[in-house]
């Protein structure tokens, strides 16, 4: 189920992000500023949030020979 949800998110971003950028560009200079500054910062924040360390990351599964 995780793969299906990730695929939906990726497709939504691939389709939605350009539409947001075009929509902001149509608003004139304030939209250009938002498209050039706010969207990249929001993207960076999302990447950092989704890529953060989760307890248990990097530990071998308990059933493996390297596990406890």
pLDDT tens digits, residue range 1-38? 688 888 888 888 889 888 988 998 899 999 999 889 98
* pLDDT single digits (tens) 8-17: 888 888 898 8
Examine residue 64 and state whether it is found in any structural domain, yes or no.
no
From 48, 58, 46, 49, select the one nearest 16 (Cα to Cα).
46
Predicted pLDDT at 29:
93
Predicted pLDDT at 28:
93
**Alpha-carbon span 16 to 55, nearest angstrom:** 32
**Residues 31 and 25 sit within 8 Å (Cβ to Cβ):** yes
**Alpha-carbon span 32 to 48, nearest angstrom:** 24
Which range of residues forms the domain containing residue 29? 2-49
Q: Has residue 67 got a pLDDT over 70?
A: no
Examine residue 30 and state whether it is found in any structural domain, yes or no.
yes
Over range 40-62, report the average pLDDT.
79
Examine residue 42 and state whether it is found in any structural domain, yes or no.
yes
Q: What is the pTM of this model?
A: 0.54
């Amino acid at each position: 189920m995780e793969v299906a949800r990730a695929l939906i998110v990726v497709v939504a971003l691939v389709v939605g992000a350009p539409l947001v950028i075009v929509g902001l560009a149509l608003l004139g200079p304030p939209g250009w500023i938002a498209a050039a500054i706010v969207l990249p910062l929001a993207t960076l924040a999302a990447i950092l949030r989704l890529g953060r360390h989760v307890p248990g990351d990097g530990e071998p599964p308990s059933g493996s020979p390297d596990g406890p």
